[in-house]
Amino acid sequence: MAEKKCDLCAGTEFEQIGNRDRHGNPLESVICKTCGLVAHGQIPTDEELARYYATEYRQSYHGEMTPSDRRVMRAWKNGERIFSQLQSHIEPDAKVFEVGAGIGCTVKVFELNGHSASGIEPGEGFQTYSQQKLLTNVVRGDLFEQPRDHSRELVLLIHVIEHFNSPRRALEYIRSMLADDGQFYVECPNIAAPFARRSKMFHYAHIHNFTPSSLKMLAESCGFKLEQQFGCSEDPNLQMLFSCSEASAPNIDASNYENTMQVINGATPLRYHLRPYYFSSRVAKVTSYLKEHLTAKQFVANVVQECQQFAVEQQHEQPAEQRAAA
């Protein structure tokens, strides 16, 4: 078996930091002692991942193969948040492409706001819902099948980068899809955020786990520069916007290994529950879940109606010969 190398810095020295996933199943997790990138000890192959995401992931991770109304409502509001967050940073007519689009809510929000928006999603149930209910341009597909034609102006990776067996290969490929002045926006779990316990940090689907520093290092070495990090360093999810730049050798933050280990070793229930804003954040989350239960069905019905009405309006705006061909 080939010697394991870190996907960020190509280092070969690792320290084991976990041997179980959050459900108690065997899973070795390691940290690179050079750059601090956290990853599986054994990286799944492309074939293993393709099978897993096509038929198993949504059920094992979300408990459903077809999205519930609550999940659609949550995803739609998240898409609105992302659009609002990025609106001032992108051109009004930027071409948007989402990798791992899920239900397609974010793609549709961008489309409703004037963008040419499309995406790919490997999960059968979610992709089917996206096309049939929200009328999105989200198809079944793989990132590495997309044209490397420098035509995209914004690529979205919303809780996707942690799922690649090689985030470096993915970002280098995305760089070749983007225009020279293109951008990519990424959200992913922040392993530097407070955790209640170490045993809850790791999941089979999350092959790589990032801190703000390791994500920035990786992106910069793949031809990007950080434009803005939204939120704060202790948020449970990283939110970063990058623009195209020149690729360079990784500029290693030597402190990231020690800082990440300090966070991991400090993951205790007491420290987690006594942190500032814990109780207010829990109250807000419980309140939002209750609201979802009460309003999700009607909310989704309204969203589906809006998507259908938008499709009708777009059809009427087409030239007569295009309508006839359709």
For the stretch 235-267, pLDDT in tens is: 899 999 999 998 777 889 999 999 999 999 887
Element (H, E) at 79: helix 69-86
With a cut of 70, say whether residue 44 has pLDDT above it. yes
CB 248 within 8 A of CB 217: no
CB 146 within 8 A of CB 86: no
The pLDDT value recorded for residue 274 is: 64
Strand, helix or coil for residue 216: helix
117 forms bridges with which residues in the sheet? 96
Mean pLDDT (the chain) is: 89
Q: Is 85 exposed, middle or buried (0-12, 13-18, 19+ CB in 10 A)?
A: middle
The pLDDT value recorded for residue 62 is: 61
pLDDT band at 278 (very low <50, low <70, confident <90, very high): low
Buried b (16+ CB within 10 A) or exposed e, 286-314: eeeeeebeeebeebbeebeeebeeeeeee
The pLDDT value recorded for residue 262 is: 93
CA 80, CA 190: separation in Å to the nearest integer? Answer: 21
CA 116, CA 219: separation in Å to the nearest integer? Answer: 25
Q: Full-prediction pTM beyond 0.75?
A: yes
Strands 26-32 and 96-99: unpaired
The pLDDT value recorded for residue 60 is: 67
183 forms bridges with which residues in the sheet? 154, 243
Pick the CATH number of 46-251+259-279 from 3.40.1710.10, 3.40.50.150, 1.10.3720.10, 3.30.2010.10: 3.40.50.150
131-142 mean pLDDT:
95
